A = this chain, B = another copy of it.
Amino acid sequence: MYLHSKNIYTPQGFQMGYLKIENGKIEGIFDEAPIGDVIDYEDKIIIPGFIDIHIHGWATGSFAHEGTVESVQNMSKELVKVGVTSYLATSGTNSIDEINRHLCQGRIAIDNWSPDKGAHVVGFHLEGPFINKEFKGMQKEEYCINPSIEILENFFGKAGKENIKLITIAPELEGAEEFIKYANKEDIQISIGHSAAEFEDIERLKDYGLGGFTHTFSGMRGFHHRRLGVAGAALYFDDMYAEFAKQTGMTVKPQAFKIAYKIKGPEKIILTTDCVGLAHVKETFYHYIRKCTFIPDGDYVKLLHDDGKEERINKNDYEKVKDFELGFLGSVKNVVKNVQASISDIVKMASENPAKYIGVYDTKGSIEPNKDGDIIVIDDEWNLLDVYVQGVKQNIQ
């Protein structure tokens, strides 16, 4: 299959030509009109698909709330509609049993995934349970525990060791140093998040394997000039990545993001959504940022807004639930508006950097020969026109 465009974005810049994808892989970009199927995108823009390394759930599926094979399959199916072609199913801080159950189910989804099923679930991100209660955010306090290699090995048994790509921990907790060293040896990326760490803790531990920061600025103290903390470390260390979850403007103000963007640049920022699949809460859940209580009700979810407004919504109806949270593409559009990010900037933050960060840049994150044919086609206003996962055209309606 060939996709033709005047604007194919590669790490060497924009190229014009015929992008050949065979057997799910990119073969290259060719100048001459080929014999065979060509889809002509004319002056539309072809870029690598987005990779969301921090997403618990989306629209009709929630790995963190439901923890079922189907929930992951639903995420895959819907994520392509917002430009995501691969992701890490992200667990929350929960009981070990519950996390293990989720990992087992997630692994089945991973093993049974095929490109006709939507976005590629390339593994897991464990957000906790090794985090600090003091900055639990929306994680469950009672399950925040110290880092434990034993528990991690237990997770390996359920998830498949190779599937655990990223773990968010609080490095000030007891046992963190050994844990970080161990994870590093196992090629698992470690992010700092939900943490009360001091700047000096991070300075001491980073070279053992602390690569970056989970939802930078959230789940940590503010930056202070005598106590820089996690936020200060995120701004200070040029070689560490700062993940920013969906840019709604509600959690991190656009101006705060812009400050971080000025310092880190697109080279060291990773865009994610941290979406949870709000329609699928299992218990009544108060969302303090949205000022709304979500109440599960069979196939429905009831929303009680602080302002008194009530809604009852079918949780399996994509059109009805897709606006519960800002999706990846919407977040990208906000970033473009806020910091005047170019296509190249966005590709770095949404595709290249996350792929490098979780160690899959050999197969994903850019349009280059021998990489997966994970491609999205956009116009110059970031409207999504087509999505391919390993060369398979997706249903994005």
Interface residues, chain A, with chain B CB atoms under 8 Å away: 199, 217-218, 221-228, 231-232, 235-236, 251-253, 255-256, 258-259, 262-263
Contacts and interface: CB of A to CB of B under 8 A. Distances in A.
Contact of A218 (B218, B225, B236): B225
| Copies of this chain, whole number | 2
Contacts of A218: 225
Contact of A225 (B199, B217, B228, B236): B217
B255 A226 contact: no
A86 to B, nearest CB: 28
A255 B199 contact: yes
B199 A226 contact: no
A256 B222 contact: no
Contacts of A235: 259, 262
Contacts of A262: 235, 263
Nearest to A222: B224
Contact of A226 (B228, B236, B251, B259): B251
Chain B CB within 10 A, most for which of A199, A225, A236: A225
Contact of A223 (B226, B231, B251, B258): B231
A138 to B, nearest CB: 15
Contact of A259 (B227, B236, B252, B253): B236
Contact of A253 (B217, B228, B255): B228
Contacts of A256: 223-226, 228, 232
Given A223-B231, A225-B256, A235-B262, 17 more contacts: A199-B253, A217-B225, A218-B225, A222-B222, A222-B224, A223-B256, A223-B259, A224-B256, A225-B251, A226-B256, A228-B256, A232-B256, A232-B259, A235-B259, A259-B263, A262-B263, A263-B263
A199 B232 CA distance: 19
Nearest to A215: B225
A255 B223 CA distance: 11
Nearest to A259: B235
A344 B222 CA distance: 33
Contacts of A263: 259, 262-263
9 contacts: A199-B253, A218-B225, A223-B223, A225-B231, A225-B251, A225-B252, A232-B256, A232-B259, A263-B263
A258 B231 contact: no
A223 B263 CA distance: 15
A367 B56 CA distance: 60
Contacts of A251: 225-226
A221 B231 CA distance: 15
